[in-house]
Structure 1
Amino acid sequence: MTTDTTTDSTDMPSTDTGTLFERLGEVWVELEEHLARVPLLQRLDDGTVTIDDYRRLLFNLRQQVVDGSPWISRAASNFDIEHFELRAAAIRHAEEEHRDFLMLERDYVAIGGSLADLRGGRKNIGSEALSGYMFHYADQPNPVGLLGAMFIIEGLGAKRAAGWAGRFQEVLGLAGSQVHFMQYHQEADSEHTGDLEAILTSGMIDDAAADEIVRCAQVVARLYALQLEELDH
């Protein structure tokens, strides 16, 4: 006896999308494992982090954050009219991000750092690799895979930044004005991840694009952790 298990596809969630989120979830787990081994974050977790650690973190992050809006803008310019919605989303995102580094600079100065030294700094090994990859990928025609990069970077802001900020405040006695960059990104990046989820579930993502998104997420996750591992190098 054969049982008909056919179901109208309109009543079912997209298998491809579900698989994509599962695959991205696996990438996120790998990222968390790498972050757990970052010395500075270990010290933050166990309460031995210092103000110099926090200053070094901001110094190193700034050199990469300042490139954020430019690579997003470059990606937007490489989406054709058939990818209009992605181009529009990238343009909006670049506009929202292009002042973020200024918040970070204010936090750095608020904890005694020199603005001239900060602006005269250079990327560490991980930041060089991350920014280089982002600009290279953004130069490709219709760089849909960068949605994977956004999944990682915006996810870190939404899921980890506020926790890090709160822990720095708890251990070092910092004021809100000294951790504003991280606090801001919990709310802003939560909104961005909502926008990203809407795109990933919109039906625009085929199997080939999903593969690109996952691969890009894998690379960016590893390089983001690397820049935290390679502070000052």
Structure 2
Amino acid sequence: MTTELTAEASATVESLTERLADVWVELEERLAEVPILRRLEEGTVTIDDYLRLLFNLRQQVVDGSPWISRAASNFDIAHFELRAAAIRHAEEEHRDYLMIERDYVAVGGSLDDLRAGRKNLGSEALSGYMFTYADRPNPVGLLGAMFIIEGLGANRAAGWANRFQEVLGLADNQVHFMKYHEVADAQHTGGLDAILTSGIIDDAAADEIVRCAQVVARLYALQLEELDR
């Protein structure tokens, strides 16, 4: 992935980078209007809000490693680098939901209630889309999903954790999931950036990546908008 790019490949990389940046700006604008995040910013968020957020995130996060594994199984040998990256990623994330469970219990939530929970409307849509897309042959577009999900972990999760601590007086062991992902997802986004700028993405794949990023950005925000539904 360190070879010099052709002019055509360089143009594709530049265009893809710009288009994904536009998707990210739209996501940031939408997140600013999500009620629980607006209350967090205003300092009016409550412990109940935080418990609700963890409860809803857990039901979707538990599906993360399975859809990544499914995607890995659908990459052929011509996409070996993407298959290998997906396998590593699935292994790294398959216990993430346990961190949410520990945070939830540390704040006073019931583990039995959490594990008996169901996905909200947005989480249902997000997980359904991810599994369906992962079933495609060579689902390269899922790099767009990773751009959104890992980007939120790397760029927003720690800020949310710190703000919850400021407003609610939470301890580090009560916001571990969000703080952990600042570091872990920064590493993942570094690997993702290397793939996106490597020259192995052609124009057709770039279109799929951008489209998938747009869909996942909308559905992730919907998940946060539809807490408890």
TM over 0.5: yes
Q: In 2 relative to 1, CA 79–12 (structure 1 residues): closer, same or farther, beyond 3 Å?
A: closer
Q: For residue 203 of structure 1, report the CA deviation from its aligned partner.
A: 1.1
Q: For residue 17 of structure 1, report the CA deviation from its aligned partner.
A: 0.3
Contact 2:164 2:170 in 1 (8 A): yes
Please identify the structure whose Cα radius of gyration is greater. 1
| Equivalent position to 2:215, from 216, 219, 227 | 219
Q: Distance in 2 between matches of 1:46 and 1:83?
A: 46
Q: For residue 209 of structure 1, report the CA deviation from its aligned partner.
A: 0.1
Give 1:91's aligned residue. Answer: 87
Superposed CA deviations along residues 115-171 of structure 1, whole A, max 9, x for unmatched, are 000000000000000000000000000000000000000000000000000000000
Q: For residue 41 of structure 1, report the CA deviation from its aligned partner.
A: 0.3
Deviating beyond 6 angstroms after TM superposition, the runs of 4 or more aligned structure 1 residues are none
Q: Distance in 2 between matches of 1:232 and 1:42?
A: 17
Q: Distance in 2 between matches of 1:215 and 1:12?
A: 21
Matched, 1:198 2:200: no
Give 1:120's aligned residue. Answer: 116
Q: Distance in 2 between matches of 1:91 and 1:9?
A: 26
Give 2:138's aligned residue. Answer: 142
Q: Distance in 1 between matches of 2:101 and 2:7?
A: 50
Give 2:33's aligned residue. Answer: 37
Contact 2:9 2:202 in 1 (8 A): no
Matched, 1:184 2:185: no
Q: Aligned to 1:222, what secondary structure does the other structure show?
A: helix
Q: Distance in 2 between matches of 1:141 and 1:203?
A: 20
Letter in 1 for 2:89: H
Q: Distance in 2 between matches of 1:225 and 1:26?
A: 16
Q: Distance in 2 between matches of 1:10 and 1:52?
A: 53
Q: Aligned to 2:139, what secondary structure does the other structure show?
A: coil
Percentage of identical aligned residues:
81
Q: Aligned to 2:109, what secondary structure does the other structure show?
A: coil
Give the count of matched residue pairs.
226
Give 1:69's aligned residue. Answer: 65
Matched, 1:158 2:154: yes
Q: Aligned to 2:200, what secondary structure does the other structure show?
A: coil
Q: Distance in 1 between matches of 2:9 and 2:212?
A: 24
Contact 2:5 2:199 in 1 (8 A): no
Q: Aligned to 1:49, what secondary structure does the other structure show?
A: coil
Letter in 1 for 2:88: R
Q: Aligned to 1:20, what secondary structure does the other structure show?
A: helix
Q: For residue 9 of structure 1, report the CA deviation from its aligned partner.
A: 7.3
Normalised by the length of structure 2, the TM-score is 0.97
Q: Distance in 1 between matches of 2:59 and 2:219?
A: 14
Letter in 2 for 1:119: R
RMSD of aligned Cα (Å) = 1.4
Q: Aligned to 2:27, what secondary structure does the other structure show?
A: helix
Matched, 1:60 2:56: yes
- Structure 2, unaligned runs of 5 or more: none
Q: For residue 15 of structure 1, report the CA deviation from its aligned partner.
A: 1.1
Superposed CA deviations along residues 81-132 of structure 1, whole A, max 9, x for unmatched, are 0000000000000000000000010000000000000000000000000000
Q: Aligned to 2:99, what secondary structure does the other structure show?
A: helix
- Structure 1, unaligned runs of 5 or more: 1-7
Give 2:167's aligned residue. Answer: 171
